Chain A
Amino acid sequence: MLAKLLKFVIFTRFSKPLIILFTLLTAYYVLAARAGIYGSATGSASLEYLGVGFTAVVFGMSVIAGGLVTLKSDRDYLFVLPIPRWELAVSLYISQLIGYGLMILYLLGYELRSVAGSIGLSGAVIGMVALALAVTSLGPACYSLPGKLRGLVAVLLVFWAISPIFGFSYAPSAMFVTHGLDGMVAAVALGVVTTPIAFYQLTQVELGLMRTLVRGTSGEVKKQKNFIGLSPFRAVLSHNFSVLEIAGRMNVPGGGGGYRSGRVSLPKAMLVTTLAAALYAYAAYVVRPAPSSAPTDIVITVVPIYLVISSTFMSMGTLGNERLWLGFSAMNPRLYMRELVVSKALSFFALFSPFVAADAVLATMNVPDALNSAVALGFILPTSYILTIYTSALTRPVQIREEITMPAQFSLGQMAMVLPLIISLVLILISTVLLAAALVSAVLMMGVSTYLVYSESVCDRALAKLVESGFV
């Protein structure tokens, strides 16, 4: 019975081609790790920062945007069947593991050899498996918490994840920063705490879902926006620029989870990014390499990578939340799409502009590569958003009708969203070390974005795809 249920649960959440891809990728990573041809045995400062950063991003995203790999139809049909709860919990947990836990292998597998260098292969494997279980469990363990508490947990976990950079060794990410044993112990501790909570939540999944959905029924918008008297263009700008809709769905690495959205005013969000940018500037200035020892500043090279990843996650709600029958029917749809995307791109630029400003200040202080980073962030971040939106619209767009549960099965087509992310990451990486590359990348991305935004045929194809994909 368990095997049948497991098969049903997995194949209703993930398409067959996606499962085949996951299997091939996993087999490759495991075999490559065993053969010792994957990752670096000695490690490097950049790899350490990447390991810490990926752990922080995955922790934050799992708590904020993650959740349950459940479908609406589960609530209507599966959860009411007389199935032993533990079998259901095991099946859902394994689906969560595919959706979230495998990310650790794909994003951090390259660290295995260097971690094994300090605590041995068995220790490294135990540490990584514990980390994968912890990441898998964070979504189910935290999904039913109220939004503010979930945000607090995410912030604490992110700070915990980056603490090894400041010398604190009892964090899972410390595995990647020469504190292998302490990091492994912390990862196991986190896994031991979160996995039983996740299992408990999954055995109570229908009650938890209902409790979470019902809790918000009295939700009111306290600060109402006023659109009366605005022209159509200003209304679109006002709706999409000044209010940031934080939306998340973990499908970039192929993993899946529920969708969450929330409204934050842009000035408030910019307060947070200004603080983060100040920290970034401080870290970049303090840890900057002496000009003779290294050509690049590690912080300046690594931080933009996380900003691009974060902006990709945040862009997912734009189309998913859009309503064809309203905005697109009220105005010329091509014009509406253009105004929507440009407003959002400007909003993203404003959100991350404190980092551009921080880079400009660092450049005046002769910090290497700061100017390149300013150009890369200022141009590549907002245009990368445009690329992501159109790639999603033209491939496998998914409309959001309900929060928490998955809006659709995860499929290989949705992985197309990884392409703009990879392109942007490569351009950012090259740009931060070479000013000429930054300028060329900026021109290239601006050119492609302008074409996408102004091309009538692209817009028509995107609209047709949205309609065919069931958008209303």
Chain B
Amino acid sequence: MASGVFPQNSDSPSSGSAIEVIQVYKKYGEVEALKGLSFNLQTGERCALLGPNGAGKSTTLKVLVGLLKPDSGEAKVGGFDPNSTEARRIVGYLPEDASPYRTLSVRENLEYVGALRGVSNLGERIDRLLDVLALREYERAKVGRLSRGNSQKLALALAIIHEPNILLLDEPLNYLDIPTQERVIELLNGLRATQLVSTHIMSVAGRLTDRVVIIARGGVIWNGSIAELKHLGKEDEPVESIVARMMVSAG
């Protein structure tokens, strides 16, 4: 996938921090999901958010996309408050287990969300995405009848239909078969957007990103490049083993 196929939205700053999370706390009732979480991503950076179940990865993404408000602390995307119109314009979000509108067809979903976002040349973009993600034959299919894999591909198309500068992806390769995973990896690597990818799987992080933020119990326990992470282990020690050790020692 050539990087020019989905050019960058022109609304966001071209340099500086694309994502800033500063001392964010978030509670669900009595459960503390985020406890002073802090990290940032520079424009154009691709970073994996790694962590065990319940670490706060999905909550972090929901805060960054404006679906959750932090109890305290600050989050910014492209220098804007996640709840602002400016932020919504430049952010693309794919949640875990994403489910598009069930009663609409694949094409209707893309047209509807494109219209909500005020995307120009919408027809052209939809045609391109349908071809790139091999969804053309399901164009008229009702989403409720799609397989999980095709539904995930549509969800990804919906997340990038407005060519976002900042892409927040929660387990983007879930439910995809291996050829489709390769196709999606190629697509994502061809985008110029800043990407924060939440995943459990180190190999996914390695294929899609070059930096890792490891979180556990709502806080950052390690932050650095994948190369630096590998240096923390013994010779030939798999990187998964290093990450597991860090997570266990973090409690």
Q: Is A261 an interface residue (CB 8 A)?
A: yes
> Are B100 and A227 neighbours in the complex by a CB distance under 8 Å?
no
Number of chain B interface residues as a range:
35 or more
Determine whether the beta carbon of B102 is less than 8 Å from that of A261: yes
Q: Which residues of B, 103-133, contact A by the 8 Å Cβ criterion?
A: 103-105, 107-109, 111-118, 122-123
Question: Within 8 Å of chain A (Cβ to Cβ): is B36?
Answer: no
Q: Given the complex of chains A and B, what is the CA–CA distance between A333 and B33 in angstroms?
A: 23
**With a CB–CB cut-off of 8 A, which chain B residues contact A403?**
102, 144
Q: State the CA gap A255–B163 with chains docked (Å).
A: 45
Note all chain A residues with C-beta closer than 8 A to B97: 401, 472
Q: How far is the CA of A467 from the CA of B70 in the complex (A)?
A: 13
CB-CB under 8 A from A472, the residues of chain B are 95-99
B142 within 8 A of A: yes
Q: Chain B 45-68, CB within 8 Å of chain A: the 1/0 string?
A: 000000000000000001001111
Are A467 and B144 closer than 8 Å at their CB atoms? Answer: no
Let me know if A25 is at the binding interface, CB within 8 A. no
A333 to B87 CA separation, bound complex (whole angstroms): 13
Please, how many angstroms separate the alpha-carbon atoms of A328 and B115 in the complex? 13
Between A and B, how many residue pairs show CB distances below 8 Å? Answer: 122
A232 touches B141 (CB 8 A): no
Q: Would A236 and B116 be within 8 Å (CB), given that A217-B145, A218-B145 are in contact?
A: yes
Known contacts A235-B115, A325-B65; is-contact A225 B108 (Cβ 8 Å): yes
Q: Which of B93, B105, B115 contacts A231 (CB 8 A)?
A: B115
Q: How far is the CA of A400 from the CA of B101 in the complex (A)?
A: 10
Q: State whether B88 touches A332 (Cβ < 8 A).
A: yes
- Give the distance to chain B from A330, nearest Cβ to Cβ, in Å: 4
Q: How far is the CA of A401 from the CA of B101 in the complex (A)?
A: 10
In the complex the two chains form, what is the Cα distance from A401 to B148 in whole Å?
A: 12
A406 to chain B, nearest CB (A): 16
B111 A228 Cβ-Cβ under 8 A: yes
Does B85 belong to the interface (CB within 8 Å)?
Answer: yes
- Find chain A residues with CB under 8 A from B65 CB: 325, 329
- Indicate with 1 or 0, residue by residue over A450-472, a CB within 8 angstroms of chain B CB atoms: 00000000001001100110001
Q: Are A328 and B107 in contact (CB under 8 A)?
A: no
Q: Does B158 contact A (CB under 8 A)?
A: yes
Question: Using Cβ atoms and an 8 Å threshold, which residues of chain B touch A263?
Answer: 103
Q: Is A321 an interface residue (CB 8 A)?
A: yes
Q: A243 vs B101: C-alpha distance in the bound complex, in angstroms?
A: 13
Q: Separation in Å of the A213 CB from the closest CB of chain B?
A: 9
Identify the interface centre among B111, B115, B117, B141: most chain A CB within 10 Å of its CB.
B115
Task: Kindly identify, within residues 217 to 249 of chain A, every residue whose CB is under 8 Å from any CB belonging to chain B.
Answer: 217-222, 224-232, 234-236, 239, 243, 245
Per DSSP, are chain B's interface residues mostly helix, strand or loop, or mixed?
mixed
B144 and A226 form a contact (CB under 8 A):
no
Q: How many residues of A contact B (CB 8 A)?
A: 47
Q: Is A34 an interface residue (CB 8 A)?
A: no
Q: Is the CB of B102 within 8 A of A329?
A: no
Of B62, B101, B111, which one neighbours A321 at CB under 8 angstroms?
A: B101
Partner of B66, one of A230, A327, A329: A329
Which residues in A have their C-beta under 8 angstroms from that of B142?
Answer: 216, 219-221
Tell me the smallest distance from the CB of B102 to a CB of chain A, in Å.
6
Q: Is the CB of A331 within 8 A of B88?
A: yes
Nearest B residue (CB) for A216: B145
User: Is A80's CB within 8 Å of the partner chain B?
Assistant: no
Docked Cα-Cα span, A235 to B104, in Å, equals 13
Shortest Cβ distance from A233 into chain B, in angstroms?
A: 9
Report Cα–Cα, A230/B108, bound state, in Å: 13
A-B contact pairs, 12 of them (CB 8 A): A221-B104, A221-B108, A227-B115, A235-B115, A325-B94, A326-B109, A329-B88, A330-B116, A332-B85, A332-B88, A468-B28, A472-B98
Question: In the complex, given contacts A324-B67, A326-B101, A329-B91, what are 4 additional A-B residue pairs having Cβ atoms less than 8 angstroms apart?
Answer: A325-B93, A327-B113, A327-B116, A329-B88
Chain A residues within 8 Å of B, Cβ to Cβ: 216-222, 224-232, 234-236, 239, 243, 245, 261-263, 321, 323-333, 336, 400-401, 403, 460, 463-464, 467-468, 472
